[in-house]
Each structure stands twice: as structure tokens, then as C-alpha cells.
Amino acid sequence: MRSSPYSTNSNKGKQGAPPRKKACQNCTRSKVRCGLEKPVCSRCRSKGRSCQYPPGRVATSEIEVTGTANDAGEDYTQLLDIHGFVDTATAPESVSFVPQSGPAAAFRSPRPRPVTSGQTGRLDLVFTDIDLTPSPNAVDIRDRWLKPYLLPPLGRDEIPKIYHPFTLQYISIILKTYPRSMLKDGGFPPIIHHTQVNTNHLPQSLANCYSLVRMWEQAAPGSETMVMGTVEAEMERLANETMSQHDYDVLCSFQAYLVYTILMYFSPLGNVSAVTDKTMMTLMELAFRTAQNGLFCTAEITHTRPNWESWIVVSAKRRALYTMYLFSSIYNSDRGLPNFVADEIKGVYVPESRVLWEAADRGVWEKEYDWHLLEWEDGMLEISELWRSAETGSTERRERLEKWVRGVDEFGMMVFAICAHIHGC
């Protein structure tokens, strides 16, 4: 019996079409286009994630997941969906500040899924063994930053630092992106090192920060008061933590408080900023707590290689301090308060190269740091070398700046651009 020509053509079309390849699991969850490269797709490779494809081939009747982020939006259902370099590790649950029922329950963070590693091994990081040199001038740093909120600058030869309005706009636009970078799958702002997030020991302050930033940015109409109260309660908890905490926990508390302050200032709920002088003074106090424990590794002072954990902590500290200083400049300028050059941190190092900051494991970092020591035999670039001085514009200074700029990441380039605009180079 002859078949209908229509059914024959239809069967040929089904048999001749090759089966579609299915996106990897990470791209499927994020609803973004997958490059389909194997064993690791380009998107997972760029983000340092484990890349896994579902077993078997996909029938032609199944829908291929190749839409872009603009087509379907990022997958924000996991508030702490953190993918990293650890092997079969699970981040601990954060302390919940969100009711278990009612309208606010929609913002509750589910328990993170286990994350696995592909070609990289488990990150064996122990942040309890941090070797830093205490800062003797931490009190001076705190007092200088607090002064605009307490007393006018009397009796000192200080010249206020003037920001051009366009420079302030530039700083504001960049800082505003820091909390929002935490909304993306596995994202983190440049003041938080990737190992602080991609680990099986996620600190409570940072775990809560990821959940509360998501809650703030996705607040439903009518829930603004509840969301603001929840974030303010967490900020109060951070402010009241004892100074007997371990240095790493102090740093994480400072980072979280700084993210909340930036979030509340640049993305206020109800168009009313909750950031006040009291908020800024608490921020400065937390900065003092982390600064007094040290802004240099002991090995950095002797021009030797520190352990990776110590370097991660001290580098994140310096980045958070610079960010706080830039944010305070915005806050002060908006209120007509003076800004000054922070002479107390003039010897602190600028952000190191991208390859050091983004190193995926200890072996890579140690190799790159050895090259770093050879390249900076004459001493690492200090933040004061970006300020105006008698050496500004000299051949030696320009050579050091160019050497640093060649390898710096976006955060370091932002710091350089702001300093160059204010002081020249």
C-alpha cells in the first residue's frame, strides 16, 4: 500500500534533520545562549565554572535552549546560586532574616546546590592563618575620615580636594554596579575576591549580603518598608559585632556593610536615601577595625611571597578601603562637606594585576606572584604615586605607572583614572 506523499515527506524531514545539541546545565539554568563547546563551553570557561552536559542526545521534538539573556532574563531564582572552583562543596545556609511565610517569603534564599569542579581541584583555603602586620596609624585613618561629620578642619594645613562634577558622575555610575553584580549567577563586585564566595565556607555576613541585595533589588511594590527594615537590621548586627572577631570575619563584615551602604544610597527604595552621617560613621568604624589588623602582609614588607590566603585578605581590604574612600567623596560632595587627600594611606599598595586577582587556584597564583616579585624589584607602586607631587610627570614615575597599567584590571584602572583626573600623572 502506497503512502501519502505528505506523510512520506514528513517522515523524511524527521529522519534527515540532525538532532539538536542541548546546552550545558549552567547555561540552561541561566537561560542564556550556550556555545556548545566541549568539554567546557566558552561561557563556563570565562566564568571559571564546572561545565556539564546532560547525557545522551536530544530528540528533535525537544526545545533547544539557546535564547539570550535579553530573551528570557537571567535566572534569579537562586539567591545564593554560587558556582566556583571547589569540588563537591556546598555553601552553608545563611541566617534567614526573611519570614517563612507571607509576601516576604518569595525573597527567601533556598539552600545552595552542591557545586562540582571540572579540571581544577578543591580550593583548600584556610583563612584562619593570616599573617599581616598591624597598622599603627589605623586610628588616624578613622579620625581623618570621620572629621567631616564631627568637626570642621581647624588648625591644620589641609587643602580640600575638589572633584569635577563629571568625575563624581563617573564614580557614582561605577559604584552603583557593585551590588547589582551580585544579582548575576555567581557574580561578585571587585571588592570581594572570588574565593570568598566560591568556597564551602561562605561567611555568614557575605551569605546574608547576597540574599538581602536580591531582596532589595527585587522588592515588590508595597514591601519597601519591610525590605528596608530587614537590611537595616542586618547592618545594625554587623555594627554591633565584637572586635574580638577573627580578621577575616571583620573584613567580610566591612565588605557587606559597604555594599549595603552603596545599595541604599544609589538605589533607594521609595526615592528616599536611608544613608545618614551615622551610617557613614559606622562604616568608618568598620574600616578602622579591619585596617588596624593590617593593610600589608608580613611577607610583602620583606619583598617575599606571602601565602595565598593572607594576600587575598589584604588585597580585598585595600580594595574595600579605596572604594569606601571614593564613596565618602560622593557623599561629602553631595552635602557640601570637604574632601581631603588621605595622607594616612599614602604608603598602601595600589590594586595588583588582573592575573593575580583572578588566579583560579594556588598554583597559578604562586607562579604569577613570583613573576610579580621579579617585575617589581624596586618596590610595588603605592597609592601616593598616583597623587600630585614633585615626581609627577617625571620619567621614572611615568615608567612605573605604565608598567602597572599594562596589567591592571578594571578596578585598578578606575582608581588610576580618578587620581589622574584630580592630580594629573
Taking Cα atoms as reference points, which of 214, 66, 47, 21 lies closest to residue 115? Answer: 47
**Residue 37: per-residue pLDDT:** 79
To the nearest 10 degrees (0 to 180), the angle between helices 247-266 and 224-239 is 150
Taking Cα atoms as reference points, which of 406, 400, 408 lies closest to residue 425? Answer: 400
d(CA 234, CA 212): 9
Decide if 401 contacts 385 (C-beta within 8 A).
yes
d(CA 258, CA 286): 9
**Residue 169: per-residue pLDDT:** 96
Query: Is 353 in a helix, a strand, or coil?
Result: strand
Task: Tell me the CA end-to-end span of the chain in Å, nearest whole number.
Answer: 87
The model's pTM: 0.72
Element (H, E) at 45: helix 42-47
Query: Is 106 in a helix, a strand, or coil?
Result: helix
Taking Cα atoms as reference points, which of 329, 331, 326, 324 lies closest to residue 289? Answer: 324
Query: Positive or negative CA dihedral for 399, 411, 379, 372?
Result: negative
Taking Cα atoms as reference points, which of 127, 412, 110, 119 lies closest to residue 249? Answer: 127
d(CA 46, CA 53): 17
Residues of the chain with pLDDT under 50: 1-15, 18, 57-122, 154-155
**Residue 274: per-residue pLDDT:** 87
332 phi and psi, to 5 degrees? -65, -40
DSSP lists the bridge partners of residue 353 as 408
